[in-house]
Amino acid sequence: MIDKLIKGEAIKSSGETKKEKLAGNGDPFAVDSTLSHSFSLRGYMQGQPSGSRRFLDKSIYAKRRISFTNATMVGLYKDAYGIVSEKQLVYEIPEKEVSDYENKDTLYSLDLLVKPEEKDSLMVILQNHLQLNLPVKVRIEYRHMSVYALVNKNFKPKESTKDELSYSFSGRGYDGQGAKIADFAEKYLANEFSLPVVDETGFDKRYDIKTNVEYRTKEGIMKSINDIGLDVVKKEKKMKVLVFYK
């Protein structure tokens, strides 16, 4: 078979080349439930979704485990450092080297489980593992850039009875319970607008926040936040950026 491969001739093989996607809530990393901590970094995993992120906030791994399948290096680093806006990414290498879903050689699958006493440091530990194991590194810098500041007009928030964030959003709007205004700004609005969004409302508790977007345009999203008493103002601000380099 090797001789034929070298000569470029056709070969026949009974080997399986198609792997089925795991059914239900199958664990592609098969983490042993007796482990207190573990780390696994792999390449492309056939049959798994691309760019998928799974943060476990329930079960025996609650807040201690995070998994990714077939993610780009940009996706991994953005999650680890809490970056949403593309404006906060700077490349000293070709962007394709770290963000190309068409090239399976640049995709990674990762699973991290930390000790119970380290769960509050999960993302910091993830940052350290990425810097040690990926071929491309990042450094943090602070640069002045245009941002949207989320400000209060006549916002009358409903303080939440929940002490942890639970949220979802789509083209129809945002629905969050136990959300801080910064969560709403950074996790949702920064994803919808072309600029980073920072919270300057002065509200610092947890709230139940819901918006309704009729048309998913900038104007439609602006109307949805105006309807709940908030607004955004464009300004210049020093912001954290991730610089990708080798």
**3-state DSSP of the chain:** CHHHHHHCCCCCCCCCCCCCCCCCCCCCCCCCCCCCCEEEEECCCCCCCCCEEEEECCCCCCCCEEEEEEECHHHHHHHHHCCCCHHHEEECCCHHHCCCCCCHHHCEEEEEECCHHHHHHHHHHHHHHHHHHCCCEEEEEEEEEEEEEEEECCCCCEECCCCCCEEEEECCEEEEEEECHHHHHHHHHHHHCCCCEEECCCCCCCEEEECCCCCCCHHHHHHHHHCCCEEEEEEEEEEEEEEEEC
The reported pLDDT for the residue numbered 58 is 65
Domain end point (choices 115, 135, 155): 135
Q: Alpha-carbon distance 128 to 7, whole Å? A: 45
On whether both 81 and 170 belong to a single domain, the answer is no
On whether both 73 and 98 belong to a single domain, the answer is yes
The verdict on residue 246 lying in a domain is: no
On whether both 210 and 226 belong to a single domain, the answer is yes
Provide the domain limits for residue 193.
142-241
The reported pLDDT for the residue numbered 21 is 47
Phi, psi of 124 (to 5 degrees): -65, -40
On whether both 40 and 124 belong to a single domain, the answer is yes
On whether both 105 and 185 belong to a single domain, the answer is no
On whether both 129 and 147 belong to a single domain, the answer is no
The verdict on residue 1 lying in a domain is: no
On whether both 52 and 129 belong to a single domain, the answer is yes
Count up the domains in the chain and report the number.
2
- Indicate the pTM of the whole model: 0.81
User: What is the Rg, in whole angstroms, of the alpha carbon atoms belonging to the chain?
Assistant: 22
The verdict on residue 233 lying in a domain is: yes
Domain end point (choices 135, 170, 203): 135
Chain position carrying tokens 């943060």: 55
Q: Alpha-carbon distance 217 to 210, whole Å? A: 17
Q: How many angstroms from the chain centroid is the CA of residue 23?
A: 24
The verdict on residue 21 lying in a domain is: no
On whether both 117 and 45 belong to a single domain, the answer is yes
On whether both 160 and 232 belong to a single domain, the answer is yes
The verdict on residue 16 lying in a domain is: no
On whether both 71 and 41 belong to a single domain, the answer is yes
The verdict on residue 27 lying in a domain is: no
pLDDT by 10s per residue, the chain, length 246: 777 777 777 776 655 444 444 443 568 888 877 788 999 999 999 988 888 777 766 678 888 999 999 999 999 999 999 998 999 999 999 999 999 999 999 999 999 999 999 999 999 999 999 999 999 999 999 999 999 999 999 998 889 999 888 889 988 999 999 999 999 999 899 999 999 999 999 999 999 999 999 999 999 999 999 999 999 999 999 999 999 999
The reported pLDDT for the residue numbered 62 is 84
- Residue 23 C-beta-side C-alpha neighbours within 13 Å: 0
On whether both 98 and 161 belong to a single domain, the answer is no
On whether both 173 and 235 belong to a single domain, the answer is yes
Domain end point (choices 108, 135, 162): 135
The verdict on residue 97 lying in a domain is: yes
